[in-house]
Amino acid sequence: MNKDLSLLQPYPFEKLAQLKLGSQPPGHLDHIALSIGEPQHPAPHFVVENLIRHLHQLSNYPSTRGSDELRDAIAAWLSTRFGIAANLVDPGVNLLPVSGTREALFAIAQCVVERNATNPLVFMPDPFYQIYEGAAVLAGASPAYLDCLPANDFLPDLDQVEEKQWADCQMIYICNPGNPTGAVMSTRYLQQLIELAHRYDFVIASDECYSEIFFDEGNPPPGLLGVAAAMGNDDFSHCLAFHSLSKRSNLPGLRSGFVAGMRD
């Protein structure tokens, strides 16, 4: 049994349920659910129809790497969406399908963190998706919280981190666009973070599950891998991006996503 399990916090929705016990909301007001973030729109019809047509494949175990067709499609989408040269994203070495990004975001800390280091730190925005904190704790690291305040446009303030803390940092979680603030990291912000990752040798785990939810169709949010490629970081060193169909395509029940970036 992992001795660090006792350090985990209760899931926030359990706390919320306790806070709401006995309360009676005004009957004349519409209910706004501040809970799990369930999509409020149906899944795209063509996706559902394709799933139905391929149900016969449920009798076979899928490979961990996924099919060549799937990885090729993911690589092509990454290149098109984030302006990455087509030959840079190698479907065989730069990406891996995952069973939803929650598990992948948890697992990456277990892979990256060296718990026997003197003071392993994992940075994360605050407020944050609780899996970041749990992953860091169970990997043997100390969570380090970066406040997302109005004064910094609700983005983690990288300048508040001292050099010694960066030296102890093994990984940083970011969420772009941010949940729950909706704040978008600029290209310059991501460039600064990539430069810090190379200088202090830590991994950036970029949660980009909301990358396709934005107002201006002509100005989509930048992604970590696109910025890395534009900087000449052709092998995406120190960079991992996590994507999911849950929010962008209203398919949380499919538990389908992928992680892309550095090869090892």
Contact (Cβ atoms closer than 8 angstroms) between residue 71 and residue 92: yes
The pLDDT of residue 201: 97
Say if strands 239-244 and 203-207 run parallel, antiparallel, or are unpaired. Answer: parallel
What does the DSSP assignment read for 98-113?
ES-HHHHHHHHHHHH-
pLDDT for the residue 248: 84
Give every CB contact of residue 89 below 8 A, 6+ residues apart in sequence.
75, 78, 79, 95, 225, 260
Dihedral of CA atoms 152, 126, 173, 167 in degrees, nearest 10, equals: 80
List of long-range contacts for 76-83, beta carbons under 8 Å, 24+ apart: 78/225, 78/260, 81/211, 81/220, 81/223, 81/226, 82/222, 82/223, 82/225, 82/226, 82/229, 83/226, 83/229, 83/230
- Average pLDDT (151-157) is 95
Predicted local distance difference test score (pLDDT) of residue 108: 96
pLDDT class for 1, splitting at 50, 70, 90?
Answer: low
Average pLDDT over residues 9-27: 79
Q: Kindly tell me if the per-residue pLDDT of 34 is higher than 70.
A: no
Integer Cα distance of 227 and 236 in angstroms: 10
Q: Once rounded to an integer, what is the mean pLDDT over residues 237-263?
A: 91
pLDDT band of 263, cuts 50, 70, 90? confident
pLDDT above 90 (res 33) = no
For residue 38, what pLDDT is reported?
A: 75
Write out the H or E segment, with its range, that includes residue 122: strand 121-126
pLDDT tens by residue, 62-103: 888 888 999 999 999 999 999 999 889 999 999 999 998 989
Mean residue pLDDT of the chain comes to 91
The pLDDT of 138-154, averaged and rounded, is 94
pLDDT tens, 180-224?
A: 889 999 999 999 999 999 999 999 999 999 999 988 888 999 999
pLDDT at 24: 84
**In this predicted structure, which of 25-39, 131-145, 212-226 has the lowest mean pLDDT?**
25-39
Residue 4 has pLDDT above 80, yes or no: no
DSSP-assigned letter for residue 130:
H
Give all domains of the chain, ordered by start, each with its CATH number.
Answer: 63-261 (3.40.640.10)
Q: Which run of H or of E encompasses 225?
A: helix 224-230
